[in-house]
Structure 1
């Protein structure tokens, strides 16, 4: 079976298998090109003369069962009979592997597929194939660079999302390094990645993109980050269209309301008990209930929440924050822009009340500052959900490599794994249902 399968695989490349053996637990396949073929010099056109053969050892993709596999290619060497020809001598070429390569093309495709699926790192794949890290990366880099060629690979993007993540944590000798991912908010594919998260970094990235591609962007989805918003505003009418809209992500707006509840709970807890939350404190025991949506609370949950507020919230400030949080959540529960605008005005008015907690006054200022972007998010149904999913994939890539120091390599790995269309896999027939039936 090994001999037959190898003959079929290498026969498609114009090579014939002369032997298959197992040496030290590795499968060794010996191949060569069939004789009797006329080869002509590229320089002068004369028929070349054979100069014998030379063995080249290549590493192939793992064999069935994960066993390592070598390919010993008995390459033919040719020489031009014209002594004055500049071509001299050369070795034959094949689609099996490029010149001066250690891995076969199949092994390179296998490694690229593993990296694209985030099923290993360059170092782990290099160990598995028995080559050095730089050898492994040199084979992968070309495929990764093709993935990062240009923004045109994803086509025109109507909704473009931006979100940052930490590339390297801070230490005594360096500050935290951030990267920002530009993601197609409709498909979730990563368009590009650039270093930094400031307004100047975003403007610099946009200035490098094709003008026609940038002009096709209709909505930019961002978190409530002033650096992104100021950059987009400054680019309107210049690189971006004058009518490009900015939408703020609903998840982060609700998160701001949740943070107001948490801050108020901690402050009230310190004022009433004189210490941080401990087991047995009423508000500390209900900290998760305070952040749970009211539609998800059952009768027991409501009873616990009321009891905690009655016992630990003497001035009803935490209850007011909880009510404000629900009002903010209600803004995004309607598809009608007019009704959403009315609910947002109601939430801002509630937070601006003179007797409201200081956490609500802060939340009101934020909501009022981002009011236009919130309306745009509701009207266009734009959000950063797929951008956050792409960020999760980026973090998986970082964890698989135990972190990155080289931004160029990090960017190529990201675009290889998250910048392409999802790979089509062979459909698998189910052999067991979700609830198998047992015959008595």
Structure 2
């Protein structure tokens, strides 16, 4: 730092006015705000009708909110020159280099607002307060710039071969929760070239919403889709099979393991009621080891293994023992490093739990077998397509949950969709300095 070369202070360069074609001619600083008087650096403009240079008719003032400096809202007091010509024409300087037409924010302020929203995760209210403008002024400027740079970009859907789809609640109301469906591009994750990105947010969570979105995409684009990662919702699977018959649906491992967890828990609760006639108490064997039962066997200590052995030694807990064994098989299949072997283990499990001679007392295991049989193709496809998982989709859903917390909730769906696309639509790389 001591070897730096210093130059004379220049307010125009410090406030990045030169990039707007402006030069600072004065300043007025207070404890609450800063006002910078500036003019354009370009030469006088000729008459747009006859091309002759006109007579100066003074200036008009245009005020623009600019990027804040020193934690104070900064305003550009822009003096726009006016001219008149002998042909009877009046005109004034073109100020589009400083701000869009009729805008109240300069290009620098819009860039700062986008960076604050996307990179710094500020709310629109805080951005508006820093700029010294109304909430709607800041929000409209951010949405319009996001639409120009991202939403209307025709190349945003290029190169997509792997999709992820999921739903979440975007608003809680007294009349019920309102849902949206998120469509994610998982191609960078599969190819290990970058993180997943949000492609679109659809109103509602239904087969029809996802199917309509797929049908609205061009056919050459649909033909490139190889696989779609999703949860166990049958509506998404049906929509994908009808519109993209050549694409393989992939069921996420998290949901399969969750089904096995629920199977084991349901069996444990049923046996608890049958043996003791009540819900579990803290000293009841089944209730006391409820978390141990859901732990992968490789992670169990010797003490825990002995406790499970004593638990299963009781003949009344035989059905829990069988359910626990099926659960461990599911976990082991997904944790097998060799995907071919993991697929074979899952196929063997599906064959066991769907066998016709399976004891009828294993109610929960038979119920799990029906579910696994119906989704067998999607479950086994996970082992053939490494990198295709709904995990990144769930991660983006988590970021959108955080976004709603920052904004203290949303009431307007178009605003929510726009903010989601700015937050997770791959816009960050464009804003990094």
Q: Does 1:184 align with 2:189?
A: no
Matched, 1:233 2:236: no
SS of match in other structure, 1:315: helix
* 2:91 maps to which of 89, 102, 123: 89
Structure 2 equivalent of residue 333 of structure 1: 335
State the partner residue of 2:303: 300
Report the CA distance between 1:304 and its aligned residue: 4.2
Mapped pair 1:416 → 2:418 = no
Deviations 1:155-189 (A, max 9, x none): 22111111111122352xx3432111111113311
**Count of matched residue pairs:** 414
> Which of 393, 403, 407 is matched with 1:401 structurally?
407
Is contact 2:119–2:428 with CA below 8 Å preserved after alignment? no
Deviation at 1:345, TM superposition (A): 3.3
Indicate whether 1:358 and 2:363 are aligned: yes
Find out whether 1:162 has 2:170 as its counterpart.
Answer: no
What's the secondary structure of 1:153's corresponding residue? coil
Match of 1:54 in 2: 60
> What displacement does 1:349 show?
4.0
- Choose the corresponding residue for 2:268, options 240, 265, 270: 265
1:251 aligns to 2:254 (yes or no): yes
2:226 matched residue in structure 1: 218
Q: Structure 1 residues 251 and 2, CA, compared in 2 at 3 Å: closer, same or farther?
A: farther
Q: CA offset at residue 211 of structure 1?
A: 1.9
Matched residue SS, 1:50: strand
Once the two structures are superposed, residues 299-337 of structure 1 have per-residue CA deviations (whole angstroms, 9 ceiling, x without a partner) of: 2333444455567x8232222222111111222234656
Q: Could you say if the C-alpha distance between residues 206 and 34 of structure 1 is closer, same or farther in structure 2, counting changes exceeding 3 Å?
A: closer
Is the Cα contact below 8 Å between 2:343 and 2:383 reproduced in 1?
no
Inter-partner Cα distance in structure 2 for 1:250 and 1:24: 57
Q: Is the 8 A contact 1:118 1:397 kept in 2?
A: no
Q: CA deviation at 1:348?
A: 2.6
Residues 1:40 and 2:41 are matched in the alignment: no
Residue 140 (str. 1) matches residue 142 (str. 2): yes
Residue deviations 1:16-70, cap 9 Å, x none? 21223421332332212358x2311223423233221223232221214x33322
Q: Which moved more, 1:198-207 or 1:279-288?
A: 279-288
| Residue number in structure 2 paired with 1:119 | 121
2:288 aligned with 1:289: no
1:62-101 to structure 2, matched below 5 A, reads 62-64=68-70, 66-83=71-88, 85=89, 88-101=90-103
Q: Do the aligned residues in 2 keep the contact of 1:264 with 1:318 (CA within 8 Å)?
A: yes
Distance 2:181 2:154 in 1: 15
1:18 corresponds in structure 2 to 25
Determine which of 31, 34, 38 is the counterpart of 1:31.
38
CA pair 54-151 structure 1, distance change in 2 beyond 3 A: closer
Tell me, in whole angstroms, the C-alpha distance in 1 between the residues paired with 2:119 and 2:278: 48
Equivalent residue number for residue 436 of structure 1: none
| Aligned counterparts of 1:358 and 1:3: Cα–Cα separation in 2 | 82
Preserved CA contact (<8 Å) 1:2 1:20: no
| Secondary structure of the structure 2 residue equivalent to 1:93 | coil
Structure 2 unaligned regions, length at least 5: 1-5, 189-195
Q: Secondary structure at the match of 2:331?
A: helix
What do the CA deviations read for 1:250-281 (whole angstroms, capped 9, x no partner)? Answer: 11111111111122222223333433334333
Query: Cα distance, 1:426 vs. partner?
Result: 7.3
